[in-house]
Structure 1
Amino acid sequence: MSDKSAKAPQKPAKPGRSAKAAKKDQPGTGAGTATAPARPGRLAVFKTYKLYVGGKFPRSESGRVYEVTDSEDQWLANAPRASRKDARDAVVAARKAFGGWAGKTAYNRGQILYRVAEMLEGRREQFTEEVAAAEGLSRAAAAEVVDAAVDRWVWYAGWTDKVAQIVGGGNPVAGPFFNLSSPEPTGVVTVLAPQESSLLGLVSVLAPVIATGNTAVLVASEKAPLPALSLAEVLATSDLPGGVVNILSGRTEELAGPLAAHQDVNALDLTGAEDPQLAKALEVAAADNLKRVLRPGTDGDWHADPGTHRLTAFLETKTVWHPTGSLGASGSAY
């Protein structure tokens, strides 16, 4: 995939590319696939994919885009190639949104996540087309992936007000005290989305992060970013507050380094770091401010039962002591 600026001139078709694909090489703003074939004598309106930062859809600060192709090397769209400045802006937006999101009740977060699932279901046909093109699947197989992604989102929505009962509770102590442990979100989490599973894997790594009250800066699959960028449109039209999820597309290695070293990022999910050397370098960078790190290779089949390990990966445990008995019930927690 070659880089080109937003003002790159129209170029001739590559050998082996269809004339139809060549016509989609539109100069300008990173135009993407048309939603429907144009009538004779009418130009198709191609989709422009953008980043998603702070609840808005900016173009890349650098103005760069890159080609996205399908499994047969047919051109699909020009995706924005985010810069380090875009990554820093995404962290600022995620940090700003963290207090409000973490402060919502778990039940309310579940309602909001369920609304996202409703919106995904309503755009099922669009995501089926994008997943089929991104992953080289038949339409029927892609539809199964989309259904599984919607179901996975609903599954995590249901966990929002239950995870505290699994990882929290009362602790036995020797003395006239209550000792209670409760989970709290870690903070801003950088998520490197899976490279091969453009929607189901994406949902499987993103949903548990925000279900537990964290905010996310997500780096989409480098070679199949379109479902992630379309998911941003779903998030923007749901009840999810701006900044809770920020989605960047571009070179994974280019974006992951600055995010791993960023002092205002609290945790790092390395699922999309397929190169072992890159993963190691990111772990070293993350150690500078003691980030939590979820290493790659912890997931196999994305269709399998996900379990709870991702729900608990980015949680901190707060323990509260409270006097009882002869010390009275009016003592303060500490």
Structure 2
Amino acid sequence: MPDRVNVLKTYKTYIDGAFPRTESGRHYKVYDREGNILANACQCSRKDVRRAVVAARGSFPGWSDRTAYNRGQILYRIAEMLETRKGQFTEELERTGYKAKRAVAEVESSIDRLIYYAGWSDKYQQVFGSINPVASSHFNFSLPEPTGVVTIWAPEEQPLLGLVSVIAPVITGGNSCVVLASETYPLSAISFAEVLNSSDVPAGVVNILTGSRTELLDPMTSHMDVNAFFYTNPDIEVQQQKQIDENGALNVKRIIRKPMEDWQDKEAKSPYFITDFQEIKTTWHPVGF
């Protein structure tokens, strides 16, 4: 009897609260650090990006209109659900080559990071907003408001903690997002999408794609309905950097780059990560009326 051939799982994408396959029908093999095949992942295309941006734009008004306290509750719920599946994520990271202790540390840090941003969800407005002195008989307030739809390149290494660290501040501030997972280690990202799907996060607020960064760079940075692009590559190529800057200028997107070598560092979390994707709105109100 020949040895049984394992049936490899094909990890799908996460768009608009559902788990569709890529429209292109393409997939690529995912390997562990020793070169063993773990699974198949979708090779997403420009059309998948467009579909995800439409979903993100559709969800943005409802998500941004929610109270800051409610968004914090939902982030805390994501942390709760991730805690209950800690064993699964630890095992997935170990399969990609993590040592057991490091895998546990990454999962626990991901849970803690979600709670960190949940705590900031109803506080950053007071810290970064202001009451401005004016010479006329008016009250003058400046308050942060979400910028809109954000496309994100998740970090290539630390595939779970890096993913959580770039998604959490964006959605804490009321934005919606389209995220391209780690190209080499995408499995944790799609498993995390299952956590999002069961954590009261409205459909379309977070959309997760897998595939080639080179192929999806242009549609993620040139789409005219995207308001910001967020990436953390410490060693991005000069030509890619030029393309990002040129595409961002097409509709004056915010281009936010935060090079990070280790997402366990204390610099890898900050309320300023939230304000990077906020716009300041100033309101005047007459006194005595």
Q: State the TM bucket, normalised to the shorter chain.
A: over 0.9
The code of the aligned residue for 2:12 comes to K
Is the counterpart of residue 54 in structure 1 residue 36 in structure 2? no
Moved segments of 4+, more than 4 Å: none
Work out whether residues 167 and 182 of structure 1, in 8 Å CA contact, stay in contact via their aligned partners in 2.
Answer: yes
Work out the CA distance in 2 between the residues paired with 1:152 and 1:262: 30
Q: Find the counterpart in structure 2 of residue 108 from structure 1.
A: 70
Q: Distance in 2 between matches of 1:276 and 1:307?
A: 28
Match of 2:275 in 1: 312
The match for 2:254 is 292
- Aligned AA (1:87): V
Q: Deviations over 1:272-310 (max 9, x none)?
A: 48333212211211110000011242x342112222221
Partner of 1:188: 149
Consecutive unaligned residues of structure 1, counting only runs of 5 or more, are 1-18, 33-47, 330-334
Displacement of 1:256 in angstroms is 2.0
Distance (whole Å) between structure 2 residues aligned to residue 166 and residue 300 of structure 1: 28
- CA–CA distance in 2 between the matches of 1:154 and 1:172? 35
Q: CA deviation at 1:72?
A: 0.7
Separation of aligned partners in 2, 1:207 and 1:283: 24
- Specify the alignment match of 1:232 in structure 2: 193
Q: TM-score, normalised by structure 1?
A: 0.82
Q: How is 1:193-232 mapped onto 2 (pairs within 5 angstroms)? A: 193-232=154-193
Tell me the residue number matched to 1:143.
104
Secondary structure of the structure 1 residue equivalent to 2:141: strand
Q: Give me the identity figure in percent.
A: 52
Note the 1:1-334 alignment, pairs <5 A: 23-24=5-6, 26=7, 31-32=8-9, 48-134=10-96, 136-272=97-233, 274-297=236-259, 299-305=260-266, 306-324=269-287, 328-329=288-289
- Secondary structure of the 1:72 match is coil
User: Given the two structures, how large is their TM-score scaled by the length of structure 2?
Assistant: 0.95
- Please tell me whether Structure 1 or Structure 2 has the larger radius of gyration of its CA atoms: 1
**Distance change (3 Å), C-alpha of 1:133 and 1:276:** farther
Aligned partners of 2:120 and 2:271 also within 8 Å: no
What secondary structure does 2:185 align onto?
coil
In structure 2, C-alpha distance between the alignment counterparts of 1:231 and 1:52, rounded to whole Å: 10
Distance 1:262 1:70 in 2: 33
Deviations 1:202-256 (A, max 9, x none): 1111100000000000000100100001100011111000000000000012112
Please list the CA deviations of residues 89-137 of structure 1 after superposition, one character each: whole Å capped at 9, or x if unmatched.
0000000000000000000000011101111001101111112233x22
Which residue type is aligned with residue 133 of structure 1? R
Looking at structure 2, the residues matched to 279 and 66 of structure 1 have their Cα atoms a distance apart, in angstroms, of 26
Q: CA RMSD in A?
A: 1.5
**Equivalent position SS for 2:166:** helix
AA matched with 1:121: E
The alignment partner of 2:250 has SS state of helix
